Amino acid sequence: MKTHWRFSVYPLLSVLVLLIDQWIKVYVRMLPLYEAFFTVPGILELTHHTNTGAAFSMLSGHADMIAVFSALLLILLMVFLGKTTRLTTIGKISVVTLIGAGASNLIDRILFGGVTDYIQLLFIQFPVFNLADICITCSVMIMSILIMTGRLDKQPEEFTHGSKD
């Protein structure tokens, strides 16, 4: 029974990221476009924007192509996660967070023709973004660090002796 719980936690984390991001976006989409609804002077502003492109509005207006590419990447990540048994706990958390956040932005692209963004930094010139974007960026950064330091996979002794993960 305990083994079943461990394996179900990771998909639940992915779903949790997706649901929290979508819940915020439902509220944001009720507000007028480009109108700030919360401001911390000089730091950030919460406002309703729609990004029809990818990161930093690249390929703007090609939401269909980006949606197909995103769906393929999500499928590859899920296959990778399902086939690998050697990922460390932080590696698994990074991958499932990436899947949940990517799926949330994909839902926006399919249903609304673009991703709902709402966080605008005021102290630097930077594109508007959302919680899913933060999760994607952090997950990719963590996985990159794990890969560069050789810590993405469990060590052979952890794998052969069966870790608690």
Q: Where are the beta strands (DSSP E) in 52-143?
A: 115-121
User: Phi and psi for 52 in degrees, rounded to 5?
Assistant: -90, 0
CA pair distance 33, 36, nearest whole angstrom? 9
Beta strands 36-40 and 115-121 are unpaired
Provide the annotated active-site residues: 117, 133
